[in-house]
Amino acid sequence: MRLWGGRFSEQPDVAASKFHSSIGFDIRLYRHDIAGSVAHAQMLGARGIIPSADAEAIAEALEGILRDIESGALAGPAAPDGAEGIHSFEDIHSFVEAELVSRIGDAGRRLHTGRSRNDQVALDMRMYVMEEIDAVRALLMELLETLARIAEEHAGTIMPGYTHMQKAQPVTLGHHMLAYFEMFKRDYQRLGGCRERTDEMPLGSGALASTPYPIDREFVKEKLRFSKITANSIDAVSDRDFCVEYVSCLSIAMMHLSRFCEELVLWSAEEFGFAVISDAYATGSSIMPQKKNPDTLELVRGKTGRVYGSLMGLLAMMKGLPLAYNKDMQEDKEAVFDASDTAKACLSVFVGTLGGVTFNKGAMRAGALGGYANATDAADWLVRRGVPFRDAHRIVGGLVLRAAGKRVPLEALPLEDMKAASGVFDETVYEAITVEACVDVRGAPGGPGSGAVREAIANAKLWMRQAREAQETKDGRS
């Protein structure tokens, strides 16, 4: 069935019809489409635009259609030739309307009064994106809780920190986990902002120029639990910023996941030995019996590029479109659907993977002892005794060179070697450059010192509790 055709004298080309069709993927919008149609019909009846009896019949029939789709009664076969069942329709909108008319006759033909598929699909997509944002944020909260738990368990687990993939300074695993906590916290907040901007009800915008009927957009807004209505009918039907922004938020979150996966892959390698991936989230080799591969992490890392591709596709699709609606915009759905499905799957499996990781405290501490990661602290020891930092930097650099030549750690150099470099040195320097001292001396807020980490964990728990309460309050209002 087509929702148009009166001015056409030829039948549509079969191949062109298949090319136009979106029912194969926009079928997943059936709940949103039906909910929007019910609210629209109720508004039309309340405003006297259509008879109230027709509005009631439409709403009742639409609810029946929803039940039948969800029970499978209307799940037509996925016919490759597009000739059977649901898949013979152009899109979810034409399918629902055709089914409605088949059930209640002419009353069903009144449903589309005062609206267009342009504002209808904008409504469906906004409802879908808000729903998906809620699902992704719930997964992010699970990840944040896991990170906070690991950080608390390993607040004192010393490990090497890196820059340029070279050992830099000692930190703790708890501090390292809290770095990722901040990343995913921003993702949670960023998606919240995206949801607020998506939360605008576009129905009533028509094809682009609104409608001459005395509609009540506020009525529909309240029925569908939107916070506000769109301000401009042209923008409302041609805007896909919310889709681009949503997939952009997902891309940033996937980037964070990918970075984390890369570290866990490295840490689980024998050369590092910092982490052991649970067997439940690893795979083996078909030829090498000894192998235990971190495939889950690698696949998340790989799927990041897939989400990026969806974002690039959306941006490229939108970049040259004049106002208002253009058929190009049908391409928004598969990109958004795939990016959302991919991100949710990755977050879900990553939470499980991370929760099952065993961290090797001994290997981490041993790693922190190498690479002269305490050199900065030796320089700081001199600074606290009046030596200008640049001079201290040069002095300790020379000591590192000497220690490297002897193939010993900095703390193994005899005191006479230290004094030869600077007479300021005394035996208390050795206590100051232990890995424990190097970490604990950095007690400034945001640092790896034990007190700072405990405070950061407390703040993280407080933020999560407040975020959950805010979401519960919002859910209660809706």
Q: pLDDT by residue (tens digit) across 104-145?
A: 999 999 999 999 999 999 999 999 999 999 999 999 999 999
Active site residue 285: yes
Contact present, 456 and 449 (Cβ < 8 Å): no
Please say if the pLDDT value at position 5 is more than 90. no
Give the chain's domain count.
Answer: 3
Domain-located, residue 296: yes
Same domain, 287 and 415: no
What is the reported pLDDT for 12?
Answer: 72
Give the mean pLDDT of 310-338.
96
Same domain, 200 and 342: yes
Same domain, 238 and 98: no
Report the first-to-last Cα separation within the chain, whole angstroms: 36
For the chain, the average pLDDT equals 93
Same domain, 264 and 355: yes
Model confidence at 203, pLDDT cuts 50, 70, 90, reads: very high
Of 338, 366, 394, which closes a domain?
Answer: 366
Please say if the pLDDT value at position 457 is more than 70. yes
Active site residue 256: no
What is the reported pLDDT for 381?
Answer: 95
Domain-located, residue 6: no
Domain that holds residue 410: 375-433
Q: Report the C-alpha dihedral over residues 307, 312, 313, 317, rounded to 10 degrees.
A: 150
Q: Which of these is catalytic: 285, 348, 393, 450?
A: 285
Please say if the pLDDT value at position 76 is more than 60. no
Please say if the pLDDT value at position 16 is more than 50. yes
What is the reported pLDDT for 475?
Answer: 81
Model confidence at 83, pLDDT cuts 50, 70, 90, reads: very low
| CATH code assigned at 139 | 1.20.200.10
Give the mean pLDDT of 48-66.
98
Same domain, 318 and 384: no
Domain-located, residue 446: no
159, β-bridge pairs: 171
Same domain, 307 and 403: no
Model confidence at 68, pLDDT cuts 50, 70, 90, reads: very high
pLDDT digits over 370-387, tens only?
A: 899 999 999 999 999 999
Same domain, 360 and 392: no
Same domain, 394 and 337: no
Domain-located, residue 445: no
Same domain, 73 and 171: no
| CATH code assigned at 52 | 1.10.275.10
Please say if the pLDDT value at position 79 is more than 50. no
What is the reported pLDDT for 22?
Answer: 85
Same domain, 347 and 254: yes
Same domain, 21 and 67: yes
CA 28-252-313 angle, to 5 degrees, is: 55
Same domain, 199 and 332: yes
Whole-angstrom distance, CA of residue 263 vs CA of residue 298: 11
| CATH code assigned at 423 | 1.10.40.30
In the DSSP assignment, the letter for residue 386 is T
pLDDT digits over 207-266, tens only?
A: 999 999 999 999 999 999 999 999 999 999 999 999 999 999 999 999 999 999 999 999
Q: Which of these is catalytic: 71, 164, 286, 478?
A: 164
Radius of gyration, alpha carbons of the chain: 30
Tell me the whole-structure pTM to 2 decimals. Answer: 0.92
